[in-house]
Amino acid sequence: MGPSSELDLVVHAERAVLPGGTRAVALGVRDGRIAAVVGLDRRGDLPPARQVLELGDDEVLLPGLVDTHVHVNEPGRTAWEGFDTATRAAALGGVTTVIDMPLNSVPATTTVDALRVKRDAARGAVHVDVGFWGGVVPGNTGELAGLVAGGVFGAKCFTAPSGVDEFEHVSPAQLREGLAELARLGSRLLVHAEDPAVLDEAAEQVARSLAQGADPRSFALFLASRPAAAEDSAVADVVAAARELRGTGPRGAAVHVVHLASASALPLVAAARAEGLPVTAETCPHYLTLDAAAVPDGATQFKCCPPVREAEVADALWAALEAGVLDSVVSDHSPCTPDLKLPGAGDFLAAWGGIASVQLGLPVVWTAARRRGVGLERVVDWMAARPAARVGLAGRKGSLVVGADADLAVLAPEEELLVEPGMLAFKNKVTPYAGQRLRGAVRSTWLRGRRVAPSGSEHPGGRLLHALHQDDPA
């Protein structure tokens, strides 16, 4: 097929967020990929297209977002979330690529067999493209080669209890064992970094406070149970492990710290990067936009681990994103059934920790960015291009470039959006953003040139992504 053959779709946009900035373009799509990007004034140079999408004056064309931190929970905890609902929600939020976390599904994705079970559950059920993380747990080092060969994008471990019994946390020695094996395989380790010794110490203090009459509905008490010092200590050990194993494997010992929420851990990450270690870190919309001081007592929809911290911490996280110390913003969409949030008791210590937001990440982050004078280009970089690059999908996902999959989101950045549970497509509608007035409405989302939201085809056309080679067909 030559360059002059008919296009499937052409998009005319006065504003499109490209890698080099925002420009007026005509973007041509053929066979699910971006076939051409030309200046809008040169739209006549493109071959004829079967379908033309004219963006409105208030709309901006973005690459589909890449959310590398989503807990789909199916199979096993499908009442919490599932592939159909999670990926419908993703599509409505402008997210076209999701990488699924290895827990809280049952089985957890810690064996080759479990990965097969996961893929079978997802096949034919996903509305956006979905890839998988494996898991590193005590004793499963022998499974990692098979998981990587099976297409996982890397594997995640916890340094402290994960919250579910079937996904045990690792010791520092076990973390190094997993990291060495993943480095040898040319893959990467993700780390939920909190030091269990620091958490235990904090828990003892909290227990003493409770004995003296402290209220378990108090967010401040929960915050005291998960201090930033726990993150700092664990991040320091992760950096040490990357340094000790720096000669291992084709790319060194690549480690990625998930959902960083400590201002004092940022210099550790910055120093590691300055030293040339392959250490990266992400944060999440809730850490950037919610304020511990404003969380009402008993409002357990705000509970996640590590916790939402003070406004100064959010300021530091924004600065770290702008400085490139943090590379991405991903949702950590981690829902549960509403009863597990203990809405009646409002007990922060006993409620399930996890914030559901895969559909809302873009408007939540953009609203705050806009207020801070941060441009939409930066937001798109953090939520699309950089997470894609980190998992080896640069050139294919997360950027409007020729040859990439034609994954597109049409955003009306100034449109007001009132978050109401009824608009949410994820299975359980509990979210701390309910009632918020945000800016930025996703008008439509396109996966490989095909409209998937809203009111796209009902046939789930997402693919299962393989980190190394051919994807599974839809």
Residues in touch with Zn ion (CB under 5 A): 332
Of 71 and 451, nearer to Zn ion (C-beta) is 71
Compute the least distance from the CB of residue 457 to Zn ion, in Å. Answer: 30
Of 83 and 446, nearer to Zn ion (C-beta) is 83
Positive or negative, the Cα torsion across 331, 336, 337, 340?
A: negative
Compute the half-sphere exposure of residue 408: CA atoms within 13 Å on the CB side of its CA.
30
Of 231 and 332, nearer to Zn ion (C-beta) is 332
The C-alpha angle 68, 71, 75, rounded to 5 degrees, equals 130
Give the 3-state secondary structure percentages of the chain, helix then strand then coil, rounded to 5: 35, 20, 45
Compute the least distance from the CB of residue 77 to Zn ion, in Å. Answer: 13
- Cα 468 to Cα 464: distance, rounded to the nearest angstrom: 12
CB 307 within 8 A of CB 289: no
Question: Nearest Cα to 383, choosing from 419, 403, 411?
Answer: 411
Of 74 and 332, nearer to Zn ion (C-beta) is 332
- Cα 298 to Cα 216: distance, rounded to the nearest angstrom: 8
Which residue's CB comes closest to Zn ion? Answer: 332
Of 282 and 332, nearer to Zn ion (C-beta) is 332
Which residues have CB under 8 Å from 233's CB, separation 6+? Answer: 195, 197, 198
Compute the least distance from the CB of residue 260 to Zn ion, in Å. Answer: 12
Of 59 and 332, nearer to Zn ion (C-beta) is 332
Compute the least distance from the CB of residue 310 to Zn ion, in Å. Answer: 22
Of 72 and 223, nearer to Zn ion (C-beta) is 72
Compute the least distance from the CB of residue 448 to Zn ion, in Å. Answer: 27
Compute the least distance from the CB of residue 469 to Zn ion, in Å. Answer: 27
CA dihedral 229, 263, 283, 73 (to 10 degrees): 20
- Supply 48's token pair: 């004829």
Compute the least distance from the CB of residue 471 to Zn ion, in Å. Answer: 24
Q: Around Cβ 221, how many Cβ atoms within 10 Å?
A: 18
